[in-house]
Chains A and B, each alone.
Chain A
C-alpha cells in the first residue's frame, strides 16, 4: 500500500456530464500527478501540481482541469465528458518535482462514460 487514496473507485457517467475525481497524497508529498490509462495501454500524463500550482501538462484539452489544496490533496475535473474519456484515472504523489523521483500511485478511479 502506498498511502495514496483515490475516490471514488468506480464511476459511471453519461456523455456531456461533468466529473470530479479526488486524490489524497502520501504524507509528506507535495507533488501530485494525474494519469489516464485506457484499457490495454500505458498511463498517459495529464498534468502535475506542485504546491497548488500546475507544473506541467500533457496533451489533454482544457476540459481536463485540476486543483491542489493546501494539504496537497488534489482533484481532477473533466467537463463535457466524451465516450473516449472512459479509462482508469490514476493519481500519483511524489516528494518533489525533481527529476528521478519515483511515483507512488493510488489504486485509481475507473470511469465509464455511456
Chain B
C-alpha cells in the first residue's frame, strides 16, 4: 500500500525557477524522507525530517513537515536541468508493523534549460 501522495504529479519549470512538491500521508509517522530517481534507475536519498521537526535545509533543498495536516513539502530553489527526475516522499509509520519505508507514487519534475 502507498501511504504518501505527491502533488502535483508532474511539474515543468524553467531553469532558475523554484520547484515545490507536496506530499500528503494518512497515518502518523516517525519520520519522512524524500528521494530522487533519475530515468527509472535507483533512488537517491535527499533529506530526512523527523516528526518533531518542522523545517530542514540541505543545500538548495528545503523540507517542511506539518504533522497536524499530515503533509510535507519539498522546495528546490534555483532549479537546474540536472534536477529533472522523479521525486518520492517516503514515510516511516513508526507504529510497528511489517512495512518499512512506504513510498508515494512520485512526482515528475522537468527543468527546461
Contact = CB atoms under 8 A, between A and B. Distances in A.
Given A43-B43, A108-B42, A100 B100 contact: no
A44 B42 CA distance: 14
B72 to A, nearest CB: 15
Contact of A108 (B41, B92, B106): B41
B42 A4 contact: yes
A58 B100 CA distance: 8
Interface residues of B, number: 27
B2 A103 contact: no
Interface residues of A, number: 29
A97 to B, nearest CB: 8
Contacts of B33: 102
Contact of A2 (B1, B2, B42): B42
A30 to B, nearest CB: 15
Interface string A70-114: 000000000000000000101010000001101111111010000
Interface of B: 1-2, 4, 30-31, 33, 35, 40-45, 48, 50, 88, 92, 94, 98-106
Interface of A: 2, 4, 33, 35, 37, 40-45, 48, 56-59, 88, 90, 92, 99-100, 102-108, 110
